[in-house]
Every structure is written in C-alpha cells, then in structure tokens.
Amino acid sequence: MYVKTELDGNCLVIYITNPPVNALSQAVRQAVVDVFKTVETNLDIEAVILTGQGRFFSAGADIKEFGKGDLLPSLPDVLDYIERCRLPVIAALPGTALGGGLEVALSCRYRLSVAAAKVGLPEVNLGLIPGAGGTQRLPRLIGMKKGAEFVTSGKPVGAKEALKLGIIDEIVETDLLEAAKAFARSLIGTTARSPISKMGPPEDWDKAAFDALMAKTKAKARGQVSPIAALEAVEAACTLSFEDGLKAEREIFKTCLENPQRAGLIHAFFAQRQAKKIPFLEAAVPQDVKSIGILGAGTMGSGIAIACASAGYDVLLFDAHTDALDKGITRIHAAFDHNIKTGRMSQPAAHSAKACVTPISDMQDLADVDLVIEAIVEKMDVKRAVFEQLDSICKSDAILASNTSYLNINEIAAATRRPDRVLGMHFFSPANIMKLLEVVRTEKASAQSLATAFAVGAKLGKIAVLSGVCDGFIGNRILKTYRAEAEFLLEDGALPQDIDRVMREFGFAMGPFQVSDLAGLDIAWHNRRKEDSTRDPNARYVDIADKLYDLGRFGQKTQAGWYDYKTGDRTAYPSPLVDDLVIAASQAKNITRRDISDTEILNRIMEAMLSEGRAILDEGIALKASDIDLVMIHGYGFPKYRGGLMFYGGITDK
C-alpha cells in the first residue's frame, strides 16, 4: 500500500505511505492519481487533505529511478491532477517536504505544517534541478530573488522561515490533521484562491539584478552545472507563461539528467549512506557519551572543542601551558560570537555552548570523562607518555582517542592497559567547520569503541569514515602522493602556476602549491625532516620546497612562498625567483625540461592518486572505494560533482 485514505464525514485525508521518507516512486504516483480520480466522481467528498504518514510529508523523488526513462505517470502529471481537482486540496506537512515533496505541496492550494517541518528543493546537490514545476511555482509565490536563492543553494528552511516567505500558510501548534480538517471544511461553499500556476511572473523580476545573480552563482558554482541550470529555469518563470516555463524546466531537467555530474553527485550521496554500513559494527552498541576531555588548546583542539560544545557535550579543555589555554578559550568564545553575528547560532544557543567548555590545568580533572580526544604535538614519545598518564587517570571504560594525522596509533595504544579502548579520531582543520572525520581502527580497538566514535561523529554532524592504521591514514596518504607528483612535474618542465591552474580548472578550490602556501611551508618542512631517517635513499626527492624554506619563504604568513603576496592581499602572484629555482633544480639533476600539456599534468596527478587509492583498498586500510571518495571530497576539496577520486577513475564498490 503506497497511499492510504481515511474518510472523516465529508473530508478525505490522503496519506502518502512509502517509508522511510515517503519517496515519490512510480507506484506512489500512480496511487495518488487513482485516488484523485475517485475524488472527481465521489461528490460526497467536499474537502481533501494530502499528508504523509510519519515524520515526512515526502522527501521527494525515488533517486533509484533516475536514468530509467519516463515511468508514468510523471510527477508533473500528478501535480496537474492535484491542481485541477474540483476541490481545493490542503497540504498538511507533518515534517519534511523536500524536492518533489515540496513541489507536490506547492501544487495544493493551501499549506499547513507543524513547527518542526522543513521544506527545500535540494536537487542541485544531486546535479539536477526541480523537474515538476518547483522552479516555476516557487518564484511566482516568493519572488525571483528568494526563489533563485532557494533553488540554487538547495538548503532547506524551517517552518518559521517558510511561513515568513509565504511558502506555508500556517504553523499548527495543536493536532495537525484536526486543524487541517477544520480549515478544509471552512472552505466549503467559498471561492478558494487560485493555484500558484495562475499567478503572474514574480513582481521583483529585474534583468540587471538577475544577470548579477547569474554571475555570482557561476563564480560560486566553480564548474558545477546544476546551480546555473536552476537559475536558467527561474529566468523562464520570470519571462514565460507558466505552461511554457514548465516545458523549459523539463528540458533543462532532462539535460541535467544526462550530464555526468548527476551520476557523480548521486554517487557521493549514496557513498555517505554506505560509509555508516560497517558489517562488524552492526551489532555493536555505542557507549553513552556525555562528557569529552580535549588535550591541547591550539587551533585544532579549540576547533574540536567548538564542535563538541555545539553538539551539547560537556567539554573539559586541557593544556599544560596557561597562556595557550587562555588563548584557546578566547578563540572558542570568539568563534561562537562570530556564529551569532553571522546568524549561524542564536545568542542563547551560543551562550549555552560557551558554558559547555570548562578550561582545566590539571589532567586529573579528566578522571570522570567518557571520551578523551588528544590534539597535542605530533611526536610519538610525547603522545605515548600522555596516553600512559590518561590510562592511569581516566575511568576504566573511558575511550581514549588521538587526533594524530600520521602517527601509528597502535604504538600509542600499546602505552596503555586498555588498547581495546584506544583509537583515532582524525579531525580536519578547522575542526568546527570541516565535515570529515577519519575514525582510525587500531589492531585491538573493540567494536563498541569504534561504534562510539561513529556515534559521537554523527552527533557532531561529521561524515565519519573508517580507516586502518598506516602513515597518513586514507586522506593524508593520498595527499602526500598528490604533492609528490606535482613536484615531479616541476622538475620535468611545469611551473607552480601551471599545475595550480589545471587543478583549479578540474574543480579544486586551490592547486597544491596554493594550498601549501596557505598551510605554511615551514610546517611541511618539519614533517619532511621527521621522515629523513626512514626515506628510501633511492626514491626521487624534490628539494625545491626545502630551498624556499631556507630563504624564509614560508607562504602567505611571510608574503612569500611558492608565490609572492602583497600586504592585505591573498592573491597568489607568480614569482620569477621561484621560477628560476625550479629551472635550476632541473638543471642540477640533468633533467631536460620540456613543455608539459594540461592534459599530462592532470593525468599524471590523477593516476598517482588513483594508484595510491588502489593500494589503500588492497591493503584493507579503506573498506570501500566510496569511503576514499568521501575522504577526498570532504577533506581535500576533490570536486563533489566528479563523484570522488575512485569514482572518477572508474573504481566503484563491488
């Protein structure tokens, strides 16, 4: 049963019943049409309410049907039945209405919702645009500017904002269906308002304003097709009749459906779901975590504290240095104040989060915390000593996690008497912003400990991916290969600006040398020195970055690195000095420089990264190819619309 009906006197309630999210599959669409045909012939029915069973009105189309051709009735056909119904249909939203779900609601004459409802048109996140009138009805209802923001961002809004915009007519604080029935019956014998399709074009249509919005959207989209396509459909709503606008929208939708970006974005969407499905953790019950201790009040530790406090955890922030601890607390408070100014958090929520963070100067105060996350200096002897201390201080069932980026966590766990409760929780900087969390599985980590780390990650709003122990885990191991190949290209004939341009054109926000300047060449130099004793003497090593370090060119912080910078200007200007250093490095190794095409630059870098990805899979460091895709997308800026590194290389989960 995909649709359930309930007749209350003269009022018919139609429930969409396709759990878990009431997706609008072909079977659901057909069932809705059949019910509305009945409404047309049963004159005893004088009021109609359309709702969803459970917490969803509908989360939209069934993604699994994309690319399978036209499965009739189409969603536009269903909306036409609803809109032409002889009775005004009232949409009652018991919760979420996204994509096609919101399009269905917009085809109804009136919309009521509970206070917890959310509405949105997220199709751009899947490489598509709304294809059942969303780009035509919504701008007519709320205006060109707001409508354009809605469809190009894909971000849902809550009921209060939806009411303010005019998307819904009323927020119901009492029983939703009873209120909807009373509202529906009040319309009997009256003239209902016209459907949205009969409204004129948006009153705020302005060609100059639209062109400016298009330019802004193109800059922000950085190669992604769907936001631009969505805006073109909005323009159709502003300049064409509703019928012609629908035709234009449908053609644009079909074009997006055939674009490879759609496949890449849908792959990324399902990869995020699959990352949670880990066979040996299915039966594990996470421990209850209420309090978290964080060691290290630097940039990383402060970011982790912000993320944990924002999620409602009680946070004890420790640093052995009083001045560092004070700076950390100041940094945390400033971040929450910034969230208030930017509207990310309400003032009460930010103040509550601030109150969750308690600075401590004695590790003994961590005795009763449920989880400790260590974010101190990247030195094995220091970390081992700290974990040995934590082992004697913390309660026996506390989980001890390291935020190390590279070090062998098995060695860290061996310093404790509880190796089953030691694992890695590798956050990405800034930890309160970046979505990725690598949960690192040590040799003896228990299923419960790992499940707990995933549960904490979910509460923090992170995308958690399981990794095995190796140098750099999944992400930094591939990143190391990426940077190495980029430097080989320098010696072979390319220049930093050539490589960075190619990678930006591919879809990265920045190229590898721009990223290096942003992170700091001094940090990378220190990391390389740690590797000097173990590096294969026969392996190819490029020392150009070492020479830049010797010259005091540490990147943006010194206004000179791989590029030159000007005061107050983060623009990377190609440096003649660096070009000379690169050419000299080739000469010193008797490498004959040659012109290297953009295609060769991209292919060599991609193949180097893919080769490392294959090795990570073969070694069992990553469970699935799609896990690697998530790491590269959410941790390193790999263009999401390309589906991730492995998907781009044709390697998918078996």
- Side chain identity at residue 509, one-letter code: A
Contact 11, 184 (CB under 8 A): yes
Q: For the sheet containing 422-427, what is the strand order?
A: 357-360, 314-318, 291-295, 371-374, 399-402, 422-427, 436-440, 463-467
* 103 included as an active-site residue: yes
Smallest CA-to-CA distance from 148 within 82, 255, 220, 197 is with: 220
- Range 185-214 burial, b when 16+ CB lie within 10 A, else e: eebeeeeeeebbbeeebbeebeeeebeebb
Round to whole Å and give the CA distance between 642 and 649. 10
* 123 included as an active-site residue: yes
Residue 50 pairs in a beta bridge with: 14, 91
Round to whole Å and give the CA distance between 466 and 356. 28
Round to whole Å and give the CA distance between 261 and 640. 9
What are the strands, taking DSSP E only, across 157-240? 157-158, 170-172
Quote the distance between the C-alpha of residue 431 and its chain's center: 14
Structural tokens at position 498: 């050539």
> Which of 123, 235, 374, 438 is an active site residue?
123
- Side chain identity at residue 251, one-letter code: E
Residue 401's H or E segment, with its range, is: strand 399-402
> Which of 65, 83, 103, 443 is an active site residue?
103
Round to whole Å and give the CA distance between 40 and 43. 7
- Side chain identity at residue 199, one-letter code: M
Round to whole Å and give the CA distance between 474 and 470. 8
Round to whole Å and give the CA distance between 436 and 6. 45
Smallest CA-to-CA distance from 97 within 152, 31, 28, 21 is with: 21
Phi first, then psi, for residue 320 (nearest 5°) are: -70, -20
Residues serving a catalytic function are 103, 123
